[in-house]
A and B are shown apart, each in its own frame.
Chain A
Amino acid sequence: MSTGIGARVKRKEDKRFTTGKGKYTDDIRNDNQAYAAFVRSTHAHANIKGIDASAALAMDGVIEVLDGHQLTGDGIGNIICGWAVTSKDGSPMNMGAWSALATSKARYVGDAIAVVIAETQAQARIAAEAVVVDYEELPAIAHVMKAMAEDAPNIHENAPGNLIYDWELGDEALADAGLASATHITTLDLTNNRLSPNPMEPRVAIATYDDAEEHYTLHTTSQNPHVARLLLSAFYQVAPENKLRVIAPDVGGGFGAKIYVYPEEITCLWASMRTNRSIKWTSDRSEAFLTDAHGRDHVTTAKMGFDDNHKIVGFKVDTVANLGAYMSLFSSSVPTYLYATLLSGQYNIQNLHCNVRTYYTNTVPVDAYRGAGRPEATYVMERMMETAARELDMDPAELRRINFIQTFPHQTPMLMAYDAGDFPKILEMAQDAADIAGFAARKTEAAGRGKLRGIGYSTFIEACGLAPSQAAGSLGAGVGLWESAEVRVNPVGSIEILTGSHSHGQGHETTFAQIVADRFDIPIESVSIVHGDTDKVQFGMGTYGSRSAPVGMSAVVKAMDKVEAKVKKIAAHTLEAAEEDIVIEGGQVKVAGTDKAMGWHEVGLAAYIAHNLPEGMEPGLKETAFFDPVNFSFPSGAFICEVEVDPDTGVTEIIKFTAADDFGTIINPMIVEGQVHGGVTQGIGQALLEQVVYDDDGQLLTGSYMDYTMPRAADIPFFDVSHHETPSPNNPLGVKGCGEAGAIGSPPAVINAITDAIGNNNLAMPATPQAVWRAIQATKSVAAE
């Protein structure tokens, strides 16, 4: 069976994961292990008047209690947002100070105030409850629309009115003129609900200081260990990079929440030095709800104008986004450069404008969560298209088709140059698979059973592998967005790939090995992937934004190019042939058209023995490459959701979900389908079930699975997934990225289906039974009038 590009290779890593042999951070226990428990604010907004740790310090097993004054006193730096967004008036964003341990003020429930270090986890937790914090309670802001009120309390001194920035993209005058010329305008008020990321493995940090070497080791649940080390070193002043090793071993899911360096990692590293102990902190699920960066939380008004031919002539979007109590690492970029840039969707729109204001509230910081900005853009776009089609009394597929971009590359007015795609084709594929022709009959049949049947579309485009570094830099990014790889051919011909990408469920140990096995025509078993350790792997940018295939694998390809060139030189020299005549196939390096050949492993051995290398050639066979893409890649798709609603209760059942995607070249269809299944499931979660709720005082009401609804198997239908490959010209493999598309494209398809079923376009996510039932009642009362 082939193990190359396009093969359904079973995941190499699953043997260890499915037999309980995975090695996660929490599985590690050091000899001098001590445990940390955090004292967290119980108020959403309060001045800290004093901290009394005397009772805690006297308790069994307690080693130390440390607070923010000691932390800042030792020179530990504030946590930063790494992307500078400039307001439209030219002023910089208002980044409020965020100390890993709050000193004078707590700004959300869960804000870390002090840490207790004890011999056992139980002792640390019990003692943390005995630390007395003297609070002076302040009025709190839990909802973003209240942050802008005249009399709203001020959360950060340097952010008057709690405004972080007021930013725009596109041309407002053009958009206004377009709308003025329109013969039909569709307007919608939309909320993108706030979500908790919920990776299966909660965050964990083990910090170990070695006083003899003055060296730190951090084992942590990170999607990007090198970025973590850079931040901890250059910005948080924990230790110089050469004195800090960051290891992210097996990581059980991230979804964005494990990109960032949080207060806990910083505090544990610093406390390890203060106590000369290895310090372990394991988040429990309650802490995860309280402290893992949340996602989404937008309030938007959108207006879209059409001419007589149903072409979009103007589109204006006004969004207010909640960034929570502090600016998390990429928080500023999510509702701007990852959102507004995609508001052209799959459509040819020239007159486009988006304004975004972001505010502080007394809630957990909000940052990238699977999709990051792109689900929010897609939700706006695709709710608008479906609603407009209904208002214009048109087939929603037809309205989309009329407006589709047909030629590539396509430059939108929102910075993006789309690489490749075939939107009519994937829409047609999805329509065929969803049996659109038979829908009317199915609707009638369902009505006979008292059920409301509806169908909804979402044709989306998204952007993966943020690039190029220079452009990102000019837009305010604090980092480059390339990726690195080293290809090490061992003397026996087996290969290790050291990648800066990080796998936390994606299956890189399989897919990265596939591209190597494919290229050198060697067994996949002889390829191993090394990642997640700053001492082993060269600097890399890590995994988020569906970048591992388009950027990470491209770096591997570039390094393989160099290896191949050297292999051919060695073989040509040994076999006394011309380099151009050398081919690599079937485990051999051959002279084409002859029976002269060396085994792949013999070339490796020759390189290391170095008895007979071409004049001037260095021994060894290992190459490094850094790949900086010229552009994003742009996966697209057409999703169709079919639902049945029970009008008596408001319960929605998803009958069928069809996903036709264009991810460019597919490395492993099985893994891609898994990513689509998972992504769509999270999208269905957002559409039907998930919602973070704070009460007006900023207390988190959805602090456990008793109140925060995760999608369960029974909520999810069988998926119909198909692919159409238009390779991206922007990377050597033609891949586009598939990790987030499901979560990006699916929410509007689900809501469009429900609104179709109930005949009311005013329905917010999550469409819980109660929300749907209310929308049905509203439709009835309108009908009765």
Chain B
Amino acid sequence: MYSTKYHKPASIADATAALTAGEDATILAGGQTLLATMKQHLASPSDLVDIRAIDGLSDISADGNVLTIGAAATHTAVASSAVVRDVCPALADLASGIGDPAVRNVGTIGGSVANNDPAADYPAAMLALGATIVTNTREITADDFFEGLFSTALEDGEIITAVKITAPAKAAYAKFPQPASLFALVGVFVADGAGGVRVAVTGAGEDGVFRQGAMESALGANWSAGALDGVAASQDGLMSDMHGAADYRAHLIAVMAKRAVSAA
């Protein structure tokens, strides 16, 4: 790893100041993605601004049927939160299936969403639930937030502070892990929520997380696993790599979607 300067601000204002002052400063959350890229010399930020000590940034709360999860909440915190279990159990389940315990104990929801890895789990939930991504300057709908592989609507130095989710009537996530990394080879989040009936797919798309329109229509008309019989996922735009060719991924989307609907 190249040498870098570490900051641990206690407020958003201090974090922003450190991010602006540094020549090539970067936000650090759980470091589960960032530190690995730094060790491989693929990233060499001049400054690391650790946002985890910022007041309130790890809080999880509910206001009626609206759930607010602080950006620095770890996957373990989300998985074990009674509030999340109450408002959106599917999200707690998803968090409990990310990586392994060591990753879950430090990786954060903000980091995952900001990173927008095409195989990450949270983006599917955000898109299917019609979540709102809250930053230090604005609120962005999930529809507008995820722009493609590792790319989002975030501006330079913009800090995600929380995500907001309205309780869905029904929701579930079914993940088929890539055997080595345990990221999603295919993950399907189904929800009947704020944005209507949605089916969001992660792990499979060449451009990252996406919505599966045909399945949404079928489920919109009849919310049941059976409604998905014969609704094949197209291979177009799906990834092919050594862990799964596009046809296998397309097949898994159908299988996982049904399993998610059955579980919801």
A interface residues with partner B (beta carbon < 8 Å): 122, 125-126, 129, 286, 648-649, 689, 693, 701-702, 705-710, 768-770, 773-774
Q: Given the complex of chains A and B, what is the CA–CA distance between A121 and B251 in angstroms?
A: 47
Q: Given the complex of chains A and B, what is the CA–CA distance between A648 and B253 in angstroms?
A: 11
A-B contact pairs, 11 of them (CB 8 A): A129-B41, A649-B176, A649-B252, A701-B242, A702-B242, A705-B180, A706-B183, A707-B242, A707-B243, A768-B179, A770-B248
- With contacts A122-B1, A126-B2, A649-B255 taken as known, whether A770 is within 8 angstroms of B245 at the C-beta atoms is yes
Choice from B180, B248, B252 contacting A707 with Cβ under 8 Å = B180
- With contacts A129-B41, A648-B255, A649-B255 taken as known, whether A770 is within 8 angstroms of B180 at the C-beta atoms is no
Q: From B100, which residue of chain A is reached at the shortest CB distance?
A: A712
In the complex, which residues of chain B have a beta carbon less than 8 angstroms from the beta carbon of A689? 179-180
Residue contact A708 to B180, C-beta cutoff 8 Å: yes
Q: Does B244 contact A (CB under 8 A)?
A: yes
Q: How many residues of B contact A (CB 8 A)?
A: 18
Residue contact B179 to A709, C-beta cutoff 8 Å: yes
Q: From B254, which residue of chain A is reached at the shortest CB distance?
A: A648
Q: With A689-B179, A705-B180, A770-B248 given, can you name 6 additional A-B contacts, CB distance below 8 Å?
A: A649-B255, A701-B242, A706-B183, A707-B181, A769-B179, A770-B244
Q: Given the complex of chains A and B, what is the CA–CA distance between A768 and B243 in angstroms?
A: 8
In the complex, which residues of chain A have a beta carbon less than 8 angstroms from the beta carbon of B243? 707, 768, 770
Residue contact A773 to B248, C-beta cutoff 8 Å: yes
Q: Given the complex of chains A and B, what is the CA–CA distance between A754 and B237 in angstroms?
A: 32
Q: From A650, which residue of chain B is reached at the shortest CB distance?
A: B248
CB contacts under 8 Å to A, within B30-79, are: 40-41
B interface residues with partner A (beta carbon < 8 Å): 1-3, 40-41, 176, 179-181, 183, 242-245, 248, 251-252, 255
Choice from A286, A693, A769 contacting B242 with Cβ under 8 Å = A693
User: A122, A706, A770: which has the most chain B beta carbons within 10 Å?
Assistant: A770
Q: Nearest Cβ in chain A — how far from B79, in angstroms?
A: 17
In the complex, which residues of chain B have a beta carbon less than 8 angstroms from the beta carbon of A706? 180-181, 183
Residue contact A709 to B180, C-beta cutoff 8 Å: yes
Q: Given the complex of chains A and B, what is the CA–CA distance between A689 and B40 in angstroms?
A: 25
Q: Given the complex of chains A and B, what is the CA–CA distance between A770 and B246 in angstroms?
A: 11
Q: Given the complex of chains A and B, what is the CA–CA distance between A126 and B41 in angstroms?
A: 9
In the complex, which residues of chain A have a beta carbon less than 8 angstroms from the beta carbon of B255? 648-649
In the complex, which residues of chain A have a beta carbon less than 8 angstroms from the beta carbon of B176? 649, 769
In the complex, which residues of chain B have a beta carbon less than 8 angstroms from the beta carbon of A707? 180-181, 242-243
In the complex, which residues of chain B have a beta carbon less than 8 angstroms from the beta carbon of A702? 180, 242
In the complex, which residues of chain B have a beta carbon less than 8 angstroms from the beta carbon of A126? 2, 41
In the complex, which residues of chain A have a beta carbon less than 8 angstroms from the beta carbon of B41? 125-126, 129
Q: Nearest Cβ in chain A — how far from B37, in angstroms?
A: 12
Q: Given the complex of chains A and B, what is the CA–CA distance between A648 and B176 in angstroms?
A: 12
Q: Given the complex of chains A and B, what is the CA–CA distance between A706 and B251 in angstroms?
A: 23
Q: From B255, which residue of chain A is reached at the shortest CB distance?
A: A648
In the complex, which residues of chain B have a beta carbon less than 8 angstroms from the beta carbon of A709? 179-180
In the complex, which residues of chain B have a beta carbon less than 8 angstroms from the beta carbon of A708? 180
Q: Given the complex of chains A and B, what is the CA–CA distance between A773 and B185 in angstroms?
A: 15
Q: From A710, which residue of chain B is reached at the shortest CB distance?
A: B180
Q: From B249, which residue of chain A is reached at the shortest CB distance?
A: A770
Q: Given the complex of chains A and B, what is the CA–CA distance between A290 and B248 in angstroms?
A: 29
Q: From B258, which residue of chain A is reached at the shortest CB distance?
A: A648
In the complex, which residues of chain B have a beta carbon less than 8 angstroms from the beta carbon of A648? 255
In the complex, which residues of chain A have a beta carbon less than 8 angstroms from the beta carbon of B248? 770, 773-774
Q: Nearest Cβ in chain A — how far from B219, in angstroms?
A: 19
Q: From A707, which residue of chain B is reached at the shortest CB distance?
A: B180
Q: From B248, which residue of chain A is reached at the shortest CB distance?
A: A770
In the complex, which residues of chain B have a beta carbon less than 8 angstroms from the beta carbon of A769? 176, 179
Q: From A773, which residue of chain B is reached at the shortest CB distance?
A: B248
Q: Nearest Cβ in chain A — how far from B245, in angstroms?
A: 7
Choice from B2, B181, B251 contacting A773 with Cβ under 8 Å = B251
Q: Nearest Cβ in chain B — how far from A685, in angstroms?
A: 11
Q: Nearest Cβ in chain B — how far from A289, in angstroms?
A: 12
Q: Given the complex of chains A and B, what is the CA–CA distance between A81 and B159 in angstroms?
A: 58
In the complex, which residues of chain A have a beta carbon less than 8 angstroms from the beta carbon of B2? 126
Q: Nearest Cβ in chain A — how far from B54, in angstroms?
A: 30
Q: Nearest Cβ in chain A — how far from B204, in angstroms?
A: 13
In the complex, which residues of chain A have a beta carbon less than 8 angstroms from the beta carbon of B251? 773
User: A122, A689, A707: which has the most chain B beta carbons within 10 Å?
Assistant: A707
In the complex, which residues of chain A have a beta carbon less than 8 angstroms from the beta carbon of B244? 770
Q: Given the complex of chains A and B, what is the CA–CA distance between A702 and B2 in angstroms?
A: 25
Q: Nearest Cβ in chain A — how far from B227, in angstroms?
A: 17
In the complex, which residues of chain A have a beta carbon less than 8 angstroms from the beta carbon of B242? 693, 701-702, 707
Q: Nearest Cβ in chain A — how far from B261, in angstroms?
A: 14
Q: Given the complex of chains A and B, what is the CA–CA distance between A741 and B180 in angstroms?
A: 26
Q: Given the complex of chains A and B, what is the CA–CA distance between A705 and B36 in angstroms?
A: 12
Q: Given the complex of chains A and B, what is the CA–CA distance between A320 and B59 in angstroms?
A: 60
Q: Nearest Cβ in chain A — how far from B117, in angstroms?
A: 11
Q: Given the complex of chains A and B, what is the CA–CA distance between A178 and B245 in angstroms?
A: 43
Q: Given the complex of chains A and B, what is the CA–CA distance between A693 and B248 in angstroms?
A: 19
Q: From B242, which residue of chain A is reached at the shortest CB distance?
A: A693
Q: From B3, which residue of chain A is reached at the shortest CB distance?
A: A122
Q: Nearest Cβ in chain A — how far from B104, in angstroms?
A: 15
Q: Nearest Cβ in chain A — how far from B203, in angstroms?
A: 13
Which 3 A/B pairs are nearest by Cβ-Cβ distance?
A: A709-B180, A706-B181, A709-B179
Q: Nearest Cβ in chain A — how far from B257, in angstroms?
A: 12
In the complex, which residues of chain A have a beta carbon less than 8 angstroms from the beta carbon of B179? 689, 709, 768-769
Q: From B244, which residue of chain A is reached at the shortest CB distance?
A: A770
Q: Given the complex of chains A and B, what is the CA–CA distance between A353 and B180 in angstroms?
A: 39
Q: From B182, which residue of chain A is reached at the shortest CB distance?
A: A712
Q: Nearest Cβ in chain A — how far from B263, in angstroms?
A: 15
Q: Nearest Cβ in chain B — how far from A198, in angstroms?
A: 12
Q: Nearest Cβ in chain B — how far from A657, in angstroms?
A: 19
Q: Nearest Cβ in chain B — how far from A283, in angstroms?
A: 14
Q: Nearest Cβ in chain A — how far from B171, in angstroms?
A: 22
Q: Given the complex of chains A and B, what is the CA–CA distance between A774 and B252 in angstroms?
A: 12
Q: Nearest Cβ in chain B — how far from A560, in angstroms?
A: 47
User: B1, B3, B179, B183: which has the most chain A beta carbons within 10 Å?
Assistant: B179
In the complex, which residues of chain B have a beta carbon less than 8 angstroms from the beta carbon of A705? 180-181
Q: From A284, which residue of chain B is reached at the shortest CB distance?
A: B39
Q: Given the complex of chains A and B, what is the CA–CA distance between A678 and B56 in angstroms?
A: 47
Q: Given the complex of chains A and B, what is the CA–CA distance between A709 and B182 in angstroms?
A: 10
Q: From A649, which residue of chain B is reached at the shortest CB distance?
A: B255
Q: Given the complex of chains A and B, what is the CA–CA distance between A770 and B178 in angstroms?
A: 10
In the complex, which residues of chain A have a beta carbon less than 8 angstroms from the beta carbon of B40? 286
In the complex, which residues of chain B have a beta carbon less than 8 angstroms from the beta carbon of A693? 242
Q: Nearest Cβ in chain A — how far from B253, in angstroms?
A: 12
In the complex, which residues of chain A have a beta carbon less than 8 angstroms from the beta carbon of B181? 705-707
Q: Given the complex of chains A and B, what is the CA–CA distance between A164 and B176 in angstroms?
A: 43
Q: Given the complex of chains A and B, what is the CA–CA distance between A229 and B159 in angstroms?
A: 57
Q: Given the complex of chains A and B, what is the CA–CA distance between A705 and B179 in angstroms?
A: 10
In the complex, which residues of chain A have a beta carbon less than 8 angstroms from the beta carbon of B180? 689, 702, 705-710
Q: Nearest Cβ in chain B — how far from A23, in angstroms?
A: 26
In the complex, which residues of chain A have a beta carbon less than 8 angstroms from the beta carbon of B252? 649
Q: Given the complex of chains A and B, what is the CA–CA distance between A490 and B248 in angstroms?
A: 67
Q: Given the complex of chains A and B, what is the CA–CA distance between A87 and B255 in angstroms?
A: 53
In the complex, which residues of chain B have a beta carbon less than 8 angstroms from the beta carbon of A129? 41
Q: Given the complex of chains A and B, what is the CA–CA distance between A709 and B242 in angstroms?
A: 12
Q: Given the complex of chains A and B, what is the CA–CA distance between A708 and B40 in angstroms?
A: 17
User: B2, B3, B242, B245: which has the most chain A beta carbons within 10 Å?
Assistant: B242
Q: Given the complex of chains A and B, what is the CA–CA distance between A286 and B40 in angstroms?
A: 9
Q: Nearest Cβ in chain A — how far from B229, in angstroms?
A: 13
Q: Nearest Cβ in chain A — how far from B183, in angstroms?
A: 8
Q: From B180, which residue of chain A is reached at the shortest CB distance?
A: A709
Q: Given the complex of chains A and B, what is the CA–CA distance between A81 and B176 in angstroms?
A: 44
Q: Given the complex of chains A and B, what is the CA–CA distance between A708 and B243 in angstroms?
A: 10
Q: Nearest Cβ in chain A — how far from B205, in angstroms?
A: 18
Q: Given the complex of chains A and B, what is the CA–CA distance between A546 and B3 in angstroms?
A: 46
Q: Given the complex of chains A and B, what is the CA–CA distance between A648 and B248 in angstroms?
A: 11
In the complex, which residues of chain B have a beta carbon less than 8 angstroms from the beta carbon of A770? 243-245, 248
Q: Given the complex of chains A and B, what is the CA–CA distance between A705 and B245 in angstroms?
A: 20
Q: Given the complex of chains A and B, what is the CA–CA distance between A158 and B245 in angstroms?
A: 40
In the complex, which residues of chain A have a beta carbon less than 8 angstroms from the beta carbon of B1? 122
Q: Nearest Cβ in chain B — how far from A631, in angstroms?
A: 42
